[in-house]
Structure 1
């Protein structure tokens, strides 16, 4: 027999307390709540929830992770978008940036008013379909920013939020692996979609491509909205739940948040500009989709491995592995080479380590909850997602500014010598600084040891 964890006991107590309160108030439509929760981490219901959450990543992220193909398409003057590459890149960064940035607010609302979760998915689907359909008929950068950049990200955010909350309920001891599998679903869709979008754009044009993806997204998301259910029964009342924000007083949370923001500044730059970079250094037009597909392919095992390690190792070790593992290929391969073979090795290594960075968040959650056991892990997760969104939003304009810097960093025909040189350096530096929390912790230890040594010397004298 599997005994409930502390988290399960707390949630079960909340459910029973809510039931008792509903009965005391004389609710006309009380819900008969079970006295025990279905098992977490194992069982048919948990695996069904994981499958639904993983499949849902395709319509939520499929367009965003392939935006590099549309970046190249929109940048072509023949297609009627009169805007700079930096302005077009802002659309791609907003797709993920706004979606992530709105997560703290949505997670806070859905934690405080759980009965609203059932409406998020349908509302998100309607907004997503409407915004994508509208974007097929605009031909200005302002229209793209409004439809694909703002409204589309809001719709996807409403789709993603309840999914993440349900994942937090269904997986407790194996949360890292579960999130790794879920994030690998996001990466998997990036394997095929660059080729699909590239082929559709060449054969049918922009409007047919976007409209067909809108229909495909609806077909994929509807079954998940039907089968995905919460593990903890939702209350039928609108009474709000008290939320604890005591974890915001702990320095460790803010150090991890800073690392996420900095890493996110440069994370999207390679995938956004890979197709344009390949064209700039003289590679064939099919090279861009191949590199994007390889990046997403490598991100799949990267997410799984980093998620699995997050359940086994400390947050410090997993974050350092992801950060330095992704920085080295940027500095040594992308910056120092310009041949196809070098670029292939770069995107594979960078995709594995940088693509697994999101899966390290489960280990961050464990570390934060060790300092504050009463903290809601889903609320912490929402705030971490918000930090990623802030980095994405800032990354778009920053990448455009870096591309406008004149002059070469090196005389040799290397990546550094192209106009992408400053952006390559920025990507590598932000990858290193993704390990801000471990680096901060290491600096504190060194500082304390230095003070102890000095104190000991003075005492001895």
Structure 2
């Protein structure tokens, strides 16, 4: 057992001794610190193992499909909206349609610090939050099927769908955090692998539906499917710590905001997010400019998504065994090499395919490093609320995504030139360099820790 996991369980044991001498320390993770001594708590199920824990893990993984299915497929809808004669948006500026997608993804992440904070403070709201999010998401898709103006599309798909999907995601993630302690890394890795797998399936599924039925019918089909898929999964999710009058309102501990290492890791998180979407955003266009078949771009994105499944699982596994800065460094270095070497030097399908595999594995698994950050924060302050930290990490990712849109637009207006018939010599050269640099600075937490160690060593000498 790692030192961070041992610390978590020692903390649970200390809390348990105050609350009830009969509750095993493993069973009392993150109980509210203001529970009256006279309150009797039932024996809690063990975390990390058993039928209930794995049912929650299965439900949390499967529900990633309805949560992220539409946002991961928006590129397909964007192409349909701007090119299909049947679309009422075919004459609209493509940049306006693209704004819907960036709003959808950015808002989903930016609302997570708020939703995670509220649901950590009031855990009894979690079951209602999930079903409310499901209703909002399904209703937004149905309403958007009747949209004829771009502002209607923005409100329905960009704002309401983001709110609904975000409310659906937050409680399921907090349930997972409650059920897994020593195996938190592989649990979160499995969850993100579910998202990555959805990214390899849904674009093709939505493309097929759009070509056959058009956007309005496809949106209604997906709205109905979303309810059918998500409803039983939400019913399966159960808290490990029961909701009671004593736990209806939990005090929040924000002292982790004073921990310098949290902010250094957050800087790396935002940096990685800033350039993370750039390769997948422009990969299809780059392949098309090379004269490759139109289908090549979709296939490369699917390869990237499938590689992300394995990357998420492996990264999650490593998080339970190595320090978070080490795992983040491996992810960042692998991503940087993938971009600067395999994409930057590519002039054909061979290196592009290698790039999609390696970038998907290393960059696609970056979010699975978050459990390691949670362990690190618990090591420095045993009383931190991991739900709050997770919400802020996801919010930081959203900040990077939103900045990345206009950032990439500015890069596309510049060129490098003079480097031969490779990626650096195309209009995508600045994109390639920026993606590599931001990926490298994703390991800023490790860099800061190393610099701090060197300075300390010099001072001692």
Q: TM-score by structure 2 length? A: 0.89
Call closer, same or farther: CA 1:190–1:43 in 2, change over 3 Å. same
Q: What does residue range 116-265 of structure 1 map to in structure 2 within 5 Å?
A: 116-236=125-245, 240-265=249-274
* Alignment-derived partner of residue 47 in structure 1: 54
CA distance in 2 between counterparts of 1:211 and 1:406 reads: 42
Call closer, same or farther: CA 1:149–1:338 in 2, change over 3 Å. farther
Call closer, same or farther: CA 1:346–1:139 in 2, change over 3 Å. farther
* Alignment-derived partner of residue 426 in structure 1: 434
Question: What SS does structure 1 have at the residue aligned with 2:63?
Answer: helix
5+ residue gaps in structure 2? 1-5, 20-30
**Farther off after superposition, 8-17 or 89-98:** 8-17
- Asked if the contact 1:71/1:272 (under 8 Å) is kept, the reply is no
Q: How much does 1:10 deviate?
A: 6.3
* Alignment-derived partner of residue 83 in structure 2: 76
- Asked if the contact 2:123/2:248 (under 8 Å) is kept, the reply is no
1:413-449 superposed Cα distances (whole Å, 9 cap, x missing partner): 3223333222222211111111111111112222233
Q: How much does 1:340 deviate?
A: 1.6
1:115-157 superposed Cα distances (whole Å, 9 cap, x missing partner): 1112101110111011122222334443333222221111111
1:305-364 superposed Cα distances (whole Å, 9 cap, x missing partner): 000000000111100000110111111121221312221111111000001100111111
Q: How much does 1:238 deviate?
A: 8.7
1:39-64 superposed Cα distances (whole Å, 9 cap, x missing partner): 10000000000010001000011122
Q: What does residue range 299-318 of structure 1 map to in structure 2 within 5 Å?
A: 299-318=308-327
Tell me which of 295, 298, 301 is aligned to 2:304: 295
* Alignment-derived partner of residue 460 in structure 2: 452
Call closer, same or farther: CA 1:277–1:157 in 2, change over 3 Å. same
5+ residue gaps in structure 1? 24-32, 454-461
CA distance in 1 between counterparts of 2:289 and 2:148 reads: 25
Q: How many residues align?
A: 440
Call closer, same or farther: CA 1:106–1:245 in 2, change over 3 Å. same
* Alignment-derived partner of residue 27 in structure 1: none
CA distance in 2 between counterparts of 1:10 and 1:153 reads: 40
1:367-386 superposed Cα distances (whole Å, 9 cap, x missing partner): 11111111011111111111
Q: How much does 1:286 deviate?
A: 1.5
Over the aligned positions, Cα root-mean-square deviation in angstroms equals: 2.4
1:378-426 superposed Cα distances (whole Å, 9 cap, x missing partner): 11111111111111122222223333x0545345332233332222222
- Asked if the contact 2:274/2:403 (under 8 Å) is kept, the reply is yes
